[in-house]
Structure 1
């Protein structure tokens, strides 16, 4: 296994945790602005519409995917800077 892959493992795990926390916070703030409510609806909330529940789920998925990709790309770029080779 290449040294860059070994170096990236713990970095990738740590960045994944931080990215997940950041994505959750970003989604909550985005929902407050777009949803005009403090909390996003749960799928089982009988008082929320299908449209609201599915919109929240789609937005949450998009935010998490973008943050995950940005964090992974940034981590890989950082490892390349430290080791001289791409970890993938």
Structure 2
């Protein structure tokens, strides 16, 4: 394994955790904006409909994936600018 990949590992893990926190906050804001309650329904929430549970899960997944990709890409670009090598 390349030294640059090994050196980037802790940065990548930190960025992954950061993206999860950012995505969670963004999802809560979007869910509230859509006029729903504070908390999104869980898959086993008996009081919620199938469509509401599936909408929440799909939206949450899309937001998480988008934020994670943006944070990972920004980390890789910053690493290349600092070191001159791409971490992947």
TM-score category of the 2 structures, normalised to the smaller one: over 0.9
- Where does structure 1 differ by over 2 angstroms across 4 or more consecutive aligned residues? 1-4
- Could you say which residue in structure 1 is the equivalent of 2:77? 77
Uncovered stretches (5+) of structure 1, i.e. residues with no partner: none
RMSD: 1.1
Q: Does 1:7 align with 2:2?
A: no
Aligned pair count reads 88
Uncovered stretches (5+) of structure 2, i.e. residues with no partner: none
Q: Deviation per CA, 1:40-82, whole angstroms, max 9, x where unpaired? A: 0011111101000000000000000001100110110011011
Measured after TM superposition, the shift of residue 35 of structure 1 is 4.2
TM-score normalised by L of structure 1: 0.93
Preserved CA contact (<8 Å) 1:23 1:67 = yes
RCO higher in structure (CA 8 A, sep ≥6): 1
